[in-house]
Amino acid sequence: MTTTNAALKAWVDTMTQLTTPDNVHWCDGSQGEYDTLIKQMVADGTMTELDQDKWSGCYYHRSSPNDVARVEHLTFICSENKDDAGPNNNWEDPAKMKAKMNGLFEGCMQGRTMYVVPYCMGPVGSPYSKVGIEITDSPYVTVNMRIMTRMGQQALDKLGDSTDFVRGLHSTGELDPDRRFICHFPETREIMSFGSGYGGNALLGKKCHALRIASIQARDEGWLAEHMLILGLESPEGETTYVCAAFPSACGKTNLAMLIPPAEYKGWKAWCVGDDIAWLRWGPDGRLWAINPEAGFFGVAPGTSEKTNPMALASLKTNSIFTNTALTEDNQPWWEGLGPPPAKATDWKGNAWTPATETAAAHPNSRFTSPAKNCPVASPEMDAPEGVPISAFIFGGRRARTAPLVFEAFDWNHGVYVGAMAASETTAAATGKVGVVRRDPFAMKPFCGYNFADYFGHWLKMGTQSEKAPKIFHVNWFRTDANGKFAWPGFGQNMRVLEWVLKRCAGEVDAVDTPIGAVPASGGLNLQGSGVDAAQLDDLLDVDSDEWQEELKGQKEFLEQYGDRMPKEMWNQYHALAERLSAVGAR
């Protein structure tokens, strides 16, 4: 590893003095370094080697049982002004929080090795990519960062002598939930994370850098940093159209990003560019272009199977890390939904487990970390420096009721309102109660680094900058029927909805206006072979007046929280929706 970057060296020196590690290791990102770290973790029990014949290059890890998901209540945006963080974030004064965090970090790496992890978010050759440095005392985090980002010497080379890098300091501390804080200092582009070793809390390139810090940079520089998958759909004629979709955590991004079109869609191919985060900018052609800042998938394991997501399964078969799944007696990972349960296994807590055990074998937020290049449908454009041009934005959430299967916004500003009003039932991706409906604008509630009112304003402004802005849609794969079962088959069958979206973008199919947006006209959505009949589709597309009157109340309460800072246009959209709904109600 080599660098002449004086600012970087000085910062690492200062952090070394603060945390007093026994050793400092600068990561070069090589395979040899990765293998050495894995070997060391297998030796000390941090990792278990899986059956290498069946799971080549794969390893298994159990995190502390109290450290299994993002901790939103312990995540802070420490901007100079409280209002800049907004009601959507926890805020603390930066000087106060710095002092508190420095106290926690003082001497915390004694007896440990400090890893200096240079990483590049985005293709190394892209002008839109950004470099960060994560200092961590976790070898587990270090190997995960190598899968999830372009890590090591290549990132240092890209950085050169520039001082423009995000500074991330991470320690697992004692994994004590009472001494756990994930803090962001937007003005100085710094992240300090203490007391967790899991996912978005600890792999700082992902949610902390590529979303919370980057969303602020994007606002300042006129681009977008979003919690979105990027998917290319190639028609039998060989034309590829790209869409971005924003769904909250554990609501289907990874699955949609690598879907297999149903048998009826002969000649169609779906290409995965990204499964979690998109950075978008206007191109010289006036279209919005997206890059995936990541290089790997940190995917939800439960529910992933040959049937639901064969491409994810193919991706995780080699060179992957499994965290908090179950482990079979013959050293294979297992999780609910993968297939028949093993007769005997060890559960995610390390306890003996059999199919008769009442608790789940895998934690609901157990995950695989896999190189994106493993994916058989990884887009050839994954490393394209300019990214891919986006034709549609799709917002969504997990709603048992209210939100129809699909609708299209009337125009950009209405689309921004639709994105802003997205709501979803909470999942196991964050600690807290599961299944409660909460507003999750743009699927960014946990990830927007600044005041949502300003963020909506930024989105509204983006729409004025080009005639070629993407069209905006909303979907819901999770509507339930009278028996409480999912009414839509989902997964690969979601292609049918995507086809409608593409046809709308091309002006090839009619839609019917409802008060909330335009839904497919009768016969406009291809159901052939789906197992869903026309009557069931009518139910899936139904916009219920009573439910939407309730919804409207929730939207008003939400907007009010932001006071005068909320753009007037959002209120205009609210009033227009209220009027459309009452016009229908009066009929």
The H-or-E segment that residue 545 falls in is helix 545-560
Task: Give the integer Cα–Cα distance in Å for 387 and 340.
Answer: 40
Figure out which of the listed residues 41, 251, 288, 405 binds ligand GTP, where binding follows CB under 6 A: 251
Report d(CA 145, CA 147) in Å as an integer: 5
- For residue 84 the two structure tokens come to 């800049």
Q: Which of residues 447-476 bind ligand GTP (CB under 6 A)?
A: none
Matching residue, tokens 């190639």: 234
Taking the least distance from each CB to Mn ion, the nearer of 362 and 429 is 429
**Other CB atoms closer than 10 Å to residue 484's CB: what's the count?**
8
* 199 lines the binding site for ligand GTP (CB under 6 A): no
Nearest-10 Cα torsion for 18, 24, 26, 29? -120
Give the residue, chosen from 92, 276, 294, 440, that forms a contact with Mn ion under the rule CB under 5 A.
Answer: 276
Q: Residue 486 touches which of ligand GTP, ligand SPV, Mn ion, none (CB < 5 to 8 A by kind)?
A: ligand GTP
Q: Which stretch binds ligand SPV (CB under 6 A): 102-110, 199-207, 337-345, 525-533?
A: 199-207
Tokens of 93: 């004064």
CA–CA separation, 442 and 445 (whole Å): 7
Q: Binding to ligand SPV (CB under 6 A): which residues in 50-109?
A: 70
Our CB check for Mn ion shows the closer of 114 and 148 to be 148
Q: Does position 211 bind ligand GTP by CB under 6 A? A: no
121 DSSP 8-state letter: E
59 interacts with, out of Mn ion, ligand SPV, ligand GTP, none, CB within 5 to 8 A per kind: none
Q: Which of 12, 58, 53 is nearest to 34 (CA)?
A: 58
Contacts 24+ apart (CB under 8 A), 489-492: 489/530, 489/531, 489/532, 490/252, 490/255, 491/255, 491/259, 491/307, 491/308, 491/309, 492/259, 492/260, 492/261, 492/262
Contact 420, 463 (CB under 8 A): no
Which of 184, 209, 253, 471 touches ligand GTP (CB under 6 A)? 253
The answer to whether 263 and 339 are in contact (CB under 8 A) is no
Under rule CB under 6 A, how many of the chain's residues touch ligand GTP? 22
Q: Applying CB under 6 A, which of residues 173, 200, 261, 342 lies at the interface with ligand SPV?
A: 200
Ramachandran class of 250: left when φ > 0, alpha when ψ lies in -120 to 50, beta otherwise: left
In terms of Cβ atoms closer than 10 Å to its own Cβ (0-12, 13-18, 19+), residue 82 is middle
Q: Does residue 251 carry a catalytic annotation?
A: yes
Sheet holding 333-334, edge to edge: 333-334, 326-328, 345-346, 352-353
Over the window 422 to 451, marking each residue x when it contacts ligand GTP by CB under 6 A and - when it does not, the resulting string is: -------x----------------------
Distance CA 131, CA 119 (A): 6
- Residues 375 and 258 sit within 8 Å (Cβ to Cβ): yes
Nearest to 25 by CA among 111, 165, 139, 130: 139
Binding status of residue 275 toward Mn ion by CB under 5 A? no
Q: Is 247 in the site for ligand GTP (CB under 6 A)?
A: yes
Q: Among the candidate windows 58-66, 120-128, 246-254, 352-360, which touches Mn ion by CB under 5 A?
A: 246-254
Residue 399 contacts which entry, ligand SPV, Mn ion, ligand GTP, none (Cβ below 5-8 A, type-dependent): none
Which one of ligand GTP, Mn ion, ligand SPV, none interacts with residue 279, CB within 5 to 8 A by kind?
A: none
Which CB atom, from 169 or from 259, has the smaller least distance to ligand GTP?
259
Minimum CB distance to ligand GTP, residue 264 (Å): 17
The set of long-range contacts for 346-352, using a CB threshold of 8 Å and a minimum separation of 24, is: 348/62, 348/65, 348/68, 348/324, 349/62, 349/65, 350/62
Least distance (Å) from ligand GTP to the CB of residue 112?
29
289-348 positions binding ligand GTP, by CB under 6 A: 299-300, 302-303, 308
When the beta carbons of 432 and 490 are compared against ligand GTP, the nearer one is 490
Give the residue with the Cβ less far from ligand GTP, 100 or 317. 317
User: To which H or E segment does residue 550 belong?
Assistant: helix 545-560
Q: Token digits for 405?
A: 């299967």
Enumerate residues 6+ apart whose C-beta is below 8 A from 436: 425, 426
Stretch of 31-39, 200-208, 339-347, 545-553 lying at the interface with ligand SPV (CB under 6 A): 200-208
Q: Which does 305 bind (CB under 5 to 8 A by kind): ligand SPV, ligand GTP, Mn ion, none?
A: none
Q: Which stretch binds ligand GTP (CB under 6 A): 36-44, 230-238, 385-393, 486-494?
A: 486-494
Q: Is position 298 an interface residue for ligand SPV (rule: CB under 6 A)?
A: yes
Interaction mask 334-363, ligand SPV, x per CB under 6 A? ------------------------------
| Marked catalytic residue, from 120, 251, 272, 448 | 251
Q: Does 184 bind ligand SPV (CB under 6 A)?
A: no
Minimum Å gap between C-beta 486 and ligand GTP is 4
Asked if 254 is part of the footprint of ligand GTP (rule: CB under 6 A), the reply reads yes
Place of tokens 């599961």: 434
Closest to ligand SPV by CB, 207 vs 504, is 207
Residue 346 · residue 352 · CB < 8 Å: yes
Rg for the chain (alpha carbons), in Å? 23
Applying CB under 5 A, the span of 4-12, 162-170, 269-277, 354-362 interacting with Mn ion comes to 269-277
Q: Which does 524 bind (CB under 5 to 8 A by kind): ligand SPV, Mn ion, ligand GTP, none?
A: none
Write out the DSSP string of 58-89: -EEE---TT--SB-GGGEEE--SSHHHH-TTS
Stretch that binds ligand GTP, among 242-250, 386-394, 418-426, 558-566 (CB under 6 A): 242-250
By the criterion CB under 6 A, which residues form the site for ligand GTP? 247, 249-255, 275-276, 299-300, 302-303, 308, 429, 477-478, 486, 490-491, 494
By the criterion CB under 6 A, which residues form the site for ligand SPV? 70, 199-200, 206-207, 249, 276, 298, 429
By the criterion CB under 5 A, which residues form the site for Mn ion? 249, 276
What amino acid positions are annotated as catalytic residues? 251
